Homo-oligomer: A and B are copies of this chain.
Amino acid sequence: MVTAAICLLSGGLDSTVALYAALADGYSVRALTLSYGQVHVREIDSARRIAAELNLEHHILSISLPWKGSALLDTTSPIPVGRDSAEMSREIPSTYVPARNTVFLSFAASFAEARGAEAIFIGANALDYSGYPDCRPEYFDAFSEVLKRGTKAGVRGRSILIETPLLRLSKKEIVELGIKLNIPFEHTWSCYQGRKDPCGECDSCILRAKGFQEAGLTDPLVTRATSPQYS
Contacts and interface: CB of A to CB of B under 8 A. Distances in A.
Interface centre among A65, A67, A141, A145 (most CB of B within 10 A): A67
Number of chain copies forming the complex = 2
Interface centre among A59, A112, A113 (most CB of B within 10 A): A113
Given A61-B63, A67-B110, A146 B102 contact: yes
A96 B109 CA distance: 14
Nearest to A66: B59
B149 A136 contact: yes
A114 B143 contact: no
A142 to B, nearest CB: 4
A150 interface: yes
A31 to B, nearest CB: 12
A111 interface: yes
Nearest to A61: B64
B133 A99 contact: no
A146 B103 CA distance: 11
Contacts of A158: none
User: Which size bracket describes the interface of A in this complex?
Assistant: 35 or more
Contact of A98 (B62, B92, B110, B149): B110
A146 B143 contact: yes
Interface in A54-110: 59, 61-69, 92, 96-103, 105-107, 109-110
A146 B101 CA distance: 11
Nearest to A36: B110
A198 interface: no
23 contacts: A59-B66, A67-B111, A67-B115, A69-B113, A69-B114, A69-B115, A98-B111, A98-B152, A99-B110, A102-B146, A103-B109, A103-B110, A105-B106, A133-B150, A134-B150, A138-B149, A139-B149, A139-B150, A141-B149, A143-B146, A143-B150, A145-B145, A145-B146
7 pairs of A and B residues whose beta carbons are closest in the complex: A69-B114, A98-B113, A67-B114, A99-B110, A99-B109, A139-B150, A106-B106
